[in-house]
């Protein structure tokens, strides 16, 4: 996976200013991480809400900020951190003010749509899709931290139309802040993330609907939950403003994984109802082994 | 819920020696907690494996140990901490050696079966079912800690045939080690725990089977999982020797909850397939609200 930018610890020629559009948890952490690791160029915040930008500046995640897109003219690299359903439209607005050489990227959890939309509607833009697999159920810049990407996987999309110069710059940036960069085509990304991230999110949400619907003689089941229920459902605390666009813009792969999960559970219910202790035990043990195998990986 | 034993901080008359049968995470933590909170009677470990008992003694969870059941004659209170499918048979073995006044309890995650079996097969035994809702995916005494029950819910089973003197002693013990004791009938316990604990466990296991079955062009989906996948599936690391008896001895309530979960997911898949962004968004937001409501409770 290494290429000639791997391990490079100063910015590639020309990257003297990075603009972060939408300074939430991810872009806020990116700003903090760039600074902490010694990026000596400018970091500019752009967004709609001045109070958020002010907070980001106070925390040191950005050097300056603006609420108007024309400020993007000052940036060599622009990272869009918005809900995935508005990324393409934000890129369109920003592109009008950017210089031709400016490189754009994003941090969204769904990649095929935005990559295709850019290719179709914004063919002149130098866009590279990216997705740092890091985050938390808390989306605001106040929870941002410089270490968020340490050792995290970061996918940079690849494909026959890739802009290799722009890709090298985006790769450099994520490696610079500590991420382990992988090149994956946009469609593959979406199928893999439907399984590894979008499915766990909707499963946690479904658990809350099911568990909170259960009570017995006035005692709500959720009241008897321990650390198991708490951890299994933590991600359901994620903002629905962020997650609704993710799962609905990746609806086919997510629906397929959700149906696969429903089927797995239906099979378990059937084994339980026919009292097949051996099959249930083997299924639990295999699940334990699979979980033990991935512990160090994720 | 308060009764006349609440807040009592010295052992009720007659509890001078407590035997812990099966010294794993729960009974090991109980021994450490009794000692840390100032219980000045004896704590005796009983079990099959001398090396485990020796480790428990080295850690200070027990004062002495034995691998033979006759040692139970020295105990006023006996807590059985074994997989739930052998609890009743262990109680039968121990009862032969106990004094008539000896009180027995357990710590299992399923209550109806063991309470009914004791009433039917061991009518002379002073048995009170209990379940401290605390634990971890790690089951061994080496992970035991004195704080495990601080603020944890602990269910003590109740019902028309309850032995009130024995119940007061078991309540005392769990409150003494910091737990918040609730009295719940055995059947209600099993339905509530099927939702709050057994369902999250099997859902986490099902997630591992589904996610680990997915790969794309040689990249396994689990490799791209972040903290979300890790937390949602942590409980799947639990020993299948402990969890197989739990879910199969509570098969009817667990199967019902699993079917309810499969149905919830099938409905979501249908909303995704018909592109109903509004319905998916409302469902995610309601799940988030439910999770936010219980955060402080569990």
* Interacting residues of B157 by C-beta distance below 8 A, sequence separation 6+: B111, B115, B128, B129, B130, B183, B184, B185, B186, B189
- Minimal C-alpha gap between A77 and chain B (Å): 26
Determine whether the interchain pair A211/B200 forms a contact, defined as Cβ–Cβ distance below 8 Å. Answer: yes
Q: B84 and B110 in contact (C-beta within 8 Å)?
A: yes
Q: Which residue has the higher pLDDT, A102 or A218?
A: A102
Smallest CA–CA distance from B181 into chain A, residue? A224
Assign a CATH topology to domain A17-184.
Answer: Rossmann fold (3.40.50)
Determine whether the interchain pair A226/B251 forms a contact, defined as Cβ–Cβ distance below 8 Å. Answer: no
C-alpha–C-alpha distance, residues B254 and B228, integer Å: 24
Q: What is the mean pLDDT of residues A72-84?
A: 97
Does A53 contact chain B (CB < 8 Å)?
no
Q: What residue has token string 């935005």?
A: A114
Q: What is the mean pLDDT of residues A210-233?
A: 93
- Put simply, the chain B residues between 120 and 139 with a CB less than 8 A from any chain A CB are 133-136
Does this complex have an ipTM over 0.95?
no
C-alpha–C-alpha distance, residues A174 and A26, integer Å: 12
Q: How many CA atoms lie within 13 A of B256 on its CB side?
A: 12
C-alpha–C-alpha distance, residues B239 and B70, integer Å: 29
Q: B222 and A298 in contact (C-beta within 8 Å)?
A: yes
Phi, psi values for residue A7, rounded to 5°: 80, -5
Q: Tell me what the pLDDT averaged over chain A comes to.
A: 93
Which of A86, A252, A287 best probes binding to B when mutated, by most B CB atoms within 10 angstroms?
A287
Does A150 contact chain B (CB < 8 Å)?
no
C-alpha–C-alpha distance, residues A196 and A223, integer Å: 29
Q: What would the pLDDT profile of A148-172 be if each residue is shown by its tens digit?
A: 999 999 999 999 889 999 999 999 9
pLDDT at residue A296, rounded to an integer: 53
Smallest CA–CA distance from B228 into chain A, residue? A235
Residue B218's CB: how many other CB atoms inside 10 A?
6
Q: What is the mean pLDDT of residues A93-120?
A: 96
Tokens of A65: 């900020």
- Mean pLDDT (10-residue bins), chain B, 298 residues: 45 88 97 97 96 97 97 97 96 96 97 95 95 90 96 95 94 97 96 98 98 92 93 96 97 98 98 98 98 73
CATH superfamily of the B190-294 domain: 6-phosphogluconate dehydrogenase C-terminal like domain (1.10.3660.10)
Q: What is the mean pLDDT of residues A178-204?
A: 97
Indicate the SS3 state at residue A23. Answer: coil
Indicate the SS3 state at residue A221. Answer: helix
Determine whether the interchain pair A191/B207 forms a contact, defined as Cβ–Cβ distance below 8 Å. Answer: no
Q: A77 and A97 in contact (C-beta within 8 Å)?
A: no
pLDDT at residue A10, rounded to an integer: 64
Q: What is the mean pLDDT of residues A39-44?
A: 96
Ordered by start, the domain boundaries in chain A are: 17-184, 190-294
- Minimal C-alpha gap between B14 and chain A (Å): 32
Q: pLDDT category, A295, cuts 50, 70, 90?
A: low
Determine whether the interchain pair B193/A231 forms a contact, defined as Cβ–Cβ distance below 8 Å. Answer: no
Q: What residue has token string 């021994």?
A: B31
Q: A200 and A229 in contact (C-beta within 8 Å)?
A: no
Q: A20 and A62 in contact (C-beta within 8 Å)?
A: yes
Does B150 contact chain A (CB < 8 Å)?
no
Residue A147's CB: how many other CB atoms inside 10 A?
14
Determine whether the interchain pair A223/B153 forms a contact, defined as Cβ–Cβ distance below 8 Å. Answer: yes
- Put simply, the chain B residues between 169 and 228 with a CB less than 8 A from any chain A CB are 182, 184-185, 188, 191-193, 195-197, 199-217, 219, 221-228
Is there a common fold for B17-184 and B190-294? no
By Cβ distance, the residue of B232, B286, B293 closest to A232 is: B232
pLDDT at residue B5, rounded to an integer: 43
By Cβ distance, the residue of B200, B206, B223 closest to A265 is: B206
Q: What is the mean pLDDT of residues A235-257?
A: 97
- Minimal C-alpha gap between A114 and chain B (Å): 18
pLDDT exceeds 60 at position A298? no
Tokens of A176: 């610079």
| Nearest one of A76, A77, A128 to A107, comparing CA atoms | A128
Determine whether the interchain pair A196/B298 forms a contact, defined as Cβ–Cβ distance below 8 Å. Answer: no
Q: What is the mean pLDDT of residues A1-29?
A: 76
Axis-axis angle for helices B251-273, B277-294 (nearest 10): 140
Q: Which stretches of chain A are assigned E, i.e. beta strand?
A: 17-21, 42-46, 64-66, 77-80, 103-106, 126-128, 130-132, 153-157, 180-184, 215-216, 219-220
C-alpha–C-alpha distance, residues A204 and A101, integer Å: 43
By Cβ distance, the residue of B235, B254, B255 closest to A231 is: B235
Q: What is the 8-class DSSP label of residue A15?
A: -
By Cβ distance, the residue of B205, B219, B293 closest to A283 is: B205
The partner residues of A20 in beta bridges, in order of sequence, read A45, A79
pLDDT exceeds 90 at position A6? no
| Nearest one of A232, A228, A212 to B133, comparing CA atoms | A228
Q: What is the mean pLDDT of residues A125-139?
A: 92
Tokens of A248: 């609905």
Determine whether the interchain pair B290/A255 forms a contact, defined as Cβ–Cβ distance below 8 Å. Answer: no
pLDDT exceeds 60 at position A3? no
C-alpha–C-alpha distance, residues A135 and B190, integer Å: 36
C-alpha–C-alpha distance, residues B45 and B189, integer Å: 28
């Amino acid at each position: 996976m290494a290429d000639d930018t791997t391990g490079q610890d100063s910015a590639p020629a020309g990257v003297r200013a990075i603009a972060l559009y939408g300074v939430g948890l991810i872009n806020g952490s990116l700003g903090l991480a760039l600074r902490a690791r010694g990026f000596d160029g400018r970091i500019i915040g752009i967004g709609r809400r001045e109070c958020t930008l002010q907070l980001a500046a106070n925390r040191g995640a950005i050097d300056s900020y603006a609420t108007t897109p024309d400020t993007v003219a000052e940036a060599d690299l622009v990272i869009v951190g918005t809900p995935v359903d508005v990324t393409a439209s934000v890129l369109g607005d920003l592109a009008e003010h950017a210089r031709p050489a400016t490189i754009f990227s994003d941090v969204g959890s769904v990649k095929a749509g935005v990559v295709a939309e850019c290719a179709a509607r914004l063919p002149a833009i130098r866009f590279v899709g990216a997705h740092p697999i890091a985050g938390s159920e808390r989306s605001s810049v106040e929870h941002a931290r410089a270490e968020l990407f340490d050792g995290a996987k970061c996918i940079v999309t690849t494909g026959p139309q890739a802009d290799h110069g722009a890709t090298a710059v985006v790769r450099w940036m994520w490696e610079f802040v500590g991420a382990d960069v992988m090149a994956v085509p946009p469609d593959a990304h979406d199928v893999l993330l439907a399984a590894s991230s979008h499915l766990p999110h909707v499963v946690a949400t479904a658990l809350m609907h099911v568990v909170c619907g259960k009570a017995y003689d006035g005692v709500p089941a959720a009241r008897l939950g321990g650390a198991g229920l708490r951890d299994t459902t933590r991600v359901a605390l994620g903002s629905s403003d962020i997650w609704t666009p993710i799962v609905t813009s990746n609806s086919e792969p997510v629906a397929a994984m959700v149906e696969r999960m429903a089927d797995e559970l239906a099979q378990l219910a059937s084994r339980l109802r026919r009292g097949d202790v051996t099959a249930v035990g083997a299924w639990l043990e295999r699940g334990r082994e699979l979980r033990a195998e991935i512990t160090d990986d994720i």
